[in-house]
Amino acid sequence: MEKLEHFLELGGTKKDITLLVISGIALIVSIFDLVPLPFDASWAAIILCGIPIILEAVIGLVTAFDIKADGLVSLALIASVCIGEDFAAGEVAFIMQLGGLLEELTVARARAGIEKLVHLTPQTARVILGGKETAVPAEDVKVGEDSSIQRMIRLVQSADAGKAKIVGLADRWTTWIVVIALTAAALTWIFSGEIIRAVTILVVFCPCALVLATPTAIMAAIGNATKHGFLVREGDALERLAAVKKITFDKTGTLTYGTPRVVLVHSALPSLTDSELYRLCAAAERYSEHPLGKAITHCCQQETGEALEEGENFQMVPGRGVSARVDEKVILAGNAELLAEHHIAIPEEAAKAADTQLSQGCTVTYTAVDGVGSDIAVDAADIALVDDEVKELPHLIALSKRMMRTIKLNITFSLTLNFIAIVLAITGTLNPVVGALVHNAGSMLVITNSALLLKWRQTASQSFASADAKSV
């Protein structure tokens, strides 16, 4: 069976397109009788498009006892040939294979985000051999398998839409539909005496649209999430996220950097400019280990672009601040207690400026989280962030809810279409060819609806509407 599966996969998309083109030409020759042949030209379509369907049905039945869409179509093809409907059999096979190709091409777009990650992977790596640095192909370096890019690729590729609970529910429905289809076809044949109606029922009863309803939506949503900086590891992660009502964050290091920054410099001495005060304070704090001292030195260097001066006689005063000599001046940098201990009164203007900033809550906050470099966090998470930006989290939550609405719409549409087509097939209104068209039209509409998730983005009006609904 493995060799047979490998044989069917040979050639890929190019082979499928070639077979479809040849089959399409054969069907045109058959319907218009363009070329006199000793056999019906539609047999080319039956062999090129129908045989693979039958083989896939056999593989599914033998390896996994999987009696689903391929099995029904195979029975319909064999029955059509047996009753002399060669053209109908060829066209049904052609339409089914065309639908499968379009499905494959559409779902492949959901993998675009992964392909972009693959392109980011370095082509070469630098390795030290014999004390010398040498450039070698990245694929030859096993350590490359643990690079951040490769980890991200594996995370997204491990997302299996089949793990979602709603997929299992749809699969169970599909199994029952197959049983009902066989029963309905047999009863219709017995009571009407027309096998063509039974064949049509087998064609339209194929639950392809129902089978595609959920995984296509999940894969499209995963593709969308990847483009917005999220790596979805589990297929059911978005399904579970859609049910989330509240999110609790650890503020420090998640919604904030946990790193202070200088937002204002105010000199209370007319003879000392703000920039000069900033420079002296940063020089005094140069060797400080306190977060505020480090923030002052870092921000000063970043803003001025100049190296800090070397302070002398640096001393750290626990719980108070630091002191140092800079430009022959003794600089005290710290809190009010440090100045009070040195009998230095805080000017009224400086006190007012400090009170104003405190009352305004002058602490500056920035959004950030531990990124992909955190192995433990990534391995434990079902959804991981690529670029440490949680500002896209509202989009992800809205996307998960949109995905669930799309899945429910797909399932409702596919079941409704199947029911209508079955009624028309039982009454003899549809023939196998039209039934195949209806069947694949339903599948393509489901795929197209799911593909819309690839580029979906919540609009401002949708955000406001959601906020209004929550406030009510």
Would you give the distance in Å from CA 127 to the centre of its chain?
Answer: 34
- Distance between CA atoms of 323 and 301, rounded to whole angstroms? 19
- Distance between CA atoms of 37 and 33, rounded to whole angstroms? 9
Q: Which two tokens stand for residue 60?
A: 């599914």
Angle at CA 45, nearest 5°, toward 43 and 47? 70
Would you give the distance in Å from CA 97 to the centre of its chain?
Answer: 27
In the set 171, 250, 375, 388, the catalytic residue is 250
With beta carbons less than 8 A apart as the criterion, state whether 399 and 383 touch.
Answer: no
- Distance between CA atoms of 154 and 151, rounded to whole angstroms? 5
Q: Which two tokens stand for residue 352?
A: 């007012």
With beta carbons less than 8 A apart as the criterion, state whether 453 and 405 touch.
Answer: no
Q: What is the DSSP letter of 346?
A: P
- Distance between CA atoms of 211 and 174, rounded to whole angstroms? 7
- In terms of Cα–Cα distance, which of 209, 216, 218 is closest to 416? 209
Task: Summarize the chain as % helix, strand, coil (round to 5).
Answer: 65, 10, 25
Q: Which two tokens stand for residue 385?
A: 């962030």
CB atoms < 10 A from the CB of 437, how many?
Answer: 17
Q: How many residues are recorded in the chain?
A: 472
Q: Which two tokens stand for residue 304?
A: 């001025």
With beta carbons less than 8 A apart as the criterion, state whether 252 and 258 touch.
Answer: yes
> Annotated catalytic, 355?
no
Would you give the distance in Å from CA 118 to the centre of its chain?
Answer: 15
- Distance between CA atoms of 197 and 199, rounded to whole angstroms? 5
* Phi and psi, residue 313, nearest 5°: 55, 45
For strand 312-317 and strand 383-385, is the pairing parallel, antiparallel, or unpaired?
A: unpaired
With beta carbons less than 8 A apart as the criterion, state whether 384 and 183 touch.
Answer: no
Would you give the distance in Å from CA 319 to the centre of its chain?
Answer: 49
With beta carbons less than 8 A apart as the criterion, state whether 76 and 421 touch.
Answer: no
Q: Which residues are the active-site residues?
A: 250
